[in-house]
Amino acid sequence: MDTQTAIAFLDESGAISHDRFFAVGCLKLAEPSVLLRRIQKLRDQHHWYGEIHWVDVTKDSLPFYSSVVEVIAKSEAEFSCFVVDRESADAVARFGSPWRAYEKLATQLLIGNIRPGELVTVLADNYSAPDEVVFEQDVKREVNRRLQRLAVTNVCRLDSKAADPLQLVDVMTSGVTFEFRQAAGLAGQRSPKARLADKLRIAFEVSSFLQGCRKGHVNVQLYRDTGSN
């Protein structure tokens, strides 16, 4: 019997160091090339060859980003994320630093999404951190320790500009988090980003992410300081 393998792509939305809402998202793909070929076709159709990035969602780029969301929704990609509201449960305060909070949330996402016997390679968006922060080694060691087997084979961080899947995670995670910002009065209801966030919920047949959601290939959870993650 062949061993199941997958690649998990990790990215975050919001500034973990100071934003009220931030999230860590994971897009897991057993065969990334299938989705990536479809994204490349969209790029060619829309002549969009720059980075796919939430901050670049405008009235003019909305049709392209809407198509991206539709393609992800129709794919076999599994998306999950933790959304943190620092006014109810501050992961940074609990774990002592933004880097440690990101590491802990990423670890828990992976543990919750790796199937029994599955081997996963992790690619994560790169960001500046102190020399003593060894995200790659810590995440690999902790996931394997808690699953009591070799589950994560390698963890590598790279610039998201070099990897379309990391850019897709950014759009998904930011789109989910946007609804939380809207509910708190920190984002509008009629902007292009608001329309894309609506499109994301429609594409995945979810009425709201505000209470968390586990449906189909989407699993959105609110971070709570329970001591378990």
CATH of the domain at 138: 3.30.420.10
Per the structure, how many domains does the chain have?
Answer: 1
Q: Which domain holds residue 59?
A: 5-222
Asked if residue 1 has pLDDT above 60, the reply is: no
Position 213 in a domain: yes
> What's the pLDDT band for 61 if we cut at 50, 70, 90?
very high
Asked if residue 155 has pLDDT above 80, the reply is: yes
Report the Cα 210 to chain-centroid distance in Å. Answer: 16
Position 149 in a domain: yes
> What's the pLDDT band for 228 if we cut at 50, 70, 90?
very low
Position 113 in a domain: yes
**H or E segment and range at residue 123:** strand 119-125
Q: Cite the DSSP H helix spans in the chain.
A: 32-46, 62-74, 91-95, 98-113, 135-147, 164-183, 192-203
Position 228 in a domain: no
Asked if residue 212 has pLDDT above 50, the reply is: yes
Mean pLDDT over 214-218 rounds to 92
Give the whole-number percent of the chain exceeding pLDDT 70.
98
What pLDDT does residue 99 have? 86
Position 229 in a domain: no
Spatial distance between the Cα atoms of 61 and 143, rounded to a whole number of angstroms: 38
- Comparing CA positions, the residue from 184, 80, 166, 178 lying closest to residue 127 is 166
What pLDDT does residue 227 have? 54
> What's the pLDDT band for 194 if we cut at 50, 70, 90?
very high
What pLDDT does residue 229 have? 47
Spatial distance between the Cα atoms of 99 and 128, rounded to a whole number of angstroms: 9
Tell me the average pLDDT of the chain.
92
Asked if residue 2 has pLDDT above 90, the reply is: no
Spatial distance between the Cα atoms of 227 and 229, rounded to a whole number of angstroms: 6
Asked if residue 44 has pLDDT above 70, the reply is: yes
Spatial distance between the Cα atoms of 22 and 27, rounded to a whole number of angstroms: 17
Spatial distance between the Cα atoms of 171 and 35, rounded to a whole number of angstroms: 15
Position 57 in a domain: yes
